[in-house]
Each structure stands twice: as structure tokens, then as C-alpha cells.
Homo-oligomer: A and B are copies of this chain.
Amino acid sequence: MPTIYPKTLSQTPARILFGLALRKAREEQQLSQEELAERAGLHRTYIGQVERGERNISIDNMEHLAHAVGMQLWEMLRP
């Protein structure tokens, strides 16, 4: 059975969408990477890497970060 993918799927990788949404939310709330890191129980350098899409972040850490910026995770992955 051939695998058929719908043509409407997002072409932007999820880690890029998440990283951009995280940076946008953080900056809108005038939080530094340090402040967000502390809030989410993660490291500052890790936040920067996630924002740039350099990390294959886990679902639990995505959830921690979403809550730390007061968003629902699904909203941060919508193209």
C-alpha cells in the first residue's frame, strides 16, 4: 500500500515553528532567556538553542516552556 501524504501539510519543521513562537512569546512578555529558563526549570543556553531550532526538544520540556510563557503547546506549533 503506497504512503500518501496530504499536500496541505506544513513545510516548516516543527522545531522551527516552536522556536519562533517561544521567542515571540518571551519577547512580548519582556522576559530574558535567563528569566524564562528559571521559570521553566531549564538552562539559559538551552533556551537559546530551542529558540533557534537547534534542539530536538522533548514533549515534556515543550510543555514546561509553553506553561512558562502562558500558552497552550498546540498554539505554539500552528503554522
Contact = CB atoms under 8 A, between A and B. Distances in A.
How large, as a class, is the contact surface on chain A? 20 to 34
Contact of A59 (B4, B6, B57, B70): B57
Interface in A43-67: 56-60, 62-63, 66-67
Chain multiplicity (copies): 2
A59 B5 contact: no
Interface of A: 3-6, 9-10, 13-15, 18, 39, 56-60, 62-63, 66-68, 70, 72-75, 77-79
21 contacts: A3-B39, A3-B68, A6-B70, A9-B67, A9-B70, A10-B73, A14-B62, A14-B66, A14-B73, A15-B60, A18-B59, A56-B58, A58-B58, A59-B59, A59-B62, A73-B77, A74-B74, A74-B75, A74-B77, A74-B78, A77-B77
